[in-house]
Structure 1
Amino acid sequence: MWFFCIYDDEQKELGRQKAPGSCPYCSGKVEAVDVEIQRRLCLLPMCFKIKRKYFCTLCSKRLELFC
């Protein structure tokens, strides 16, 4: 008997806004994107998170904050 589960991440963009600062790679403008992440295990919703991700508008690199 085989047992397997389907694990799925569904991401939906909620909004975009300008962020302060500039890209360290190309000195472009930084944009903050709010993303809703819904994780499912065997088609049942398990986790729901809202995260903010930062991207450069010129080189499209994902930027991370280090405190």
Structure 2
Amino acid sequence: MCLVFVCDEDERVIGRQAAPGACPYCGGMVQAMDVQSQWRFCFVPLYFKTKRRLYCTICSRRLVVQ
């Protein structure tokens, strides 16, 4: 029996930079990362999206802006 994955998601970090503010959990510096996600179907790229995510540099938690 052969199992073939036909859908795949790939995430790649494009850039990092310091963001203003401090982590509410530990008080560490916040870092903004630009992440490009790519959905593929049978090795054909279908969808590209670039997102900005915020992370703490000390506790490595993902931070959400409200």
Which interval holds the TM-score relative to the shorter structure? 0.7 to 0.9
Find the aligned partners of 1:61 and 1:5 in 2 and give their Cα distance: 31
Q: How does 1:34-49 map to 2 (within 5 A)?
A: 34-49=34-49
Deviations 1:5-29 (A, max 9, x none): 6211111111100001111110100
Shift of 1:42: 1.9
**Cα separation, 2, equivalents of 1:36 and 1:24:** 26
Could you tell me the TM-score, scaled by structure 1's length? 0.86
- CA distance in 2: counterparts of 1:39 and 1:54, whole angstroms: 22
Considering only aligned residues, what root-mean-square deviation do their CA atoms show, in Å?
Answer: 1.3
Q: Whole-Å Cα distance in 2 between the matches of residues 39 and 32 of structure 1?
A: 23
Percent identical: 48
> Which ranges in structure 2 are unaligned for 5 or more consecutive residues?
none
Aligned match of 2:50: 50
Question: How many residue pairs were aligned?
Answer: 63
